[in-house]
Structure 1
Amino acid sequence: MSEGVKIIAVNRKARHDFTIDETYECGIVLMGTEIKSVREGKISFPDAWAEVKNGEIWLNSFRIAENPFSSIFNHDPDRKKKLLLHKDEIKRIARRVEEKGYTLIPLSFYFKNGKVKVELGLCKGKKAFDKRADIRERDIQREVSREFREKLH
């Protein structure tokens, strides 16, 4: 992430459960009361996913809490949100999603120059043995760095 970026939320579970092949930065279409709730960090997306429909990408299972200070014109917290990408990117993503096992998962939400952005990952599910291998590799790396620090002192 570069300058002018403020991270709202990160989906750490996605990096554990999926192998991420590509990432895309997307804009997201929000209503006025939704952006107020996002600024307050009142979002939830543990099982969120995106799909390609009619040449557009839609984010599902992404919940933005209602703003309690808003009037009767509040938003529906569970509505599908449209993601903004270039047409050629959408076509490329649609071809990859049609392949077996690929899913679109939101990896993080952040503000970039005052606009809400979504980091969307083209992911493939990990098997249980893949997860164990990643944990084993992380533990080995931790041991190596610990030994290296001890030798410096």
Structure 2
Amino acid sequence: MSEAFERDTYPHWVTVPTRWSDNDQFGHVNNAVHYTVMDTTINSWLQAHDFDVTKDGGTINLIPETGCRYFAEIAYPDAFEVGLRALRVGRSSVGWECALVRRSDGELVALATSAHVFVDAVTRRPSAVPEALRPHLVGLMTGSRQEAARSIS
């Protein structure tokens, strides 16, 4: 891997076990599973911070962009350790990054990115990041990115 991985730049960590069905015919976890792990990590974090579209359907979040760079394999019965951080927090959107690490040896398996745009559930037009959520999102940023995000309203 050409870029340095710094575990402490990810403020939130969870463990996500692999499942028997995650392995493909090549004997490792299929690449589509990495996206599921990222999506589950992000949405669990959002729900833990009181953003749950099943409670208040007025604002939802849509995903216009995703990406993943793979560095190593992982296979069942190992587990992912997933680090979550916000890369940017805008007026109506957030950019996410998840570091997917192999629990057995601490090897970085993949860096997965996505973006969420908060929209009105009916019109599907962008709406502001919920104010109660914004400070928590900014808390997932590190360094100078936090200061820039705090100034956006």
TM-score, with structure 1 as normaliser: 0.31
Which has a greater percent of helix? 1
Q: Which has the higher contact order (CA 8 A, sep 6+)?
A: 1
Output the TM-score relative to the length of structure 2: 0.31
User: Which structure's CA Rg is the greater one?
Assistant: 1
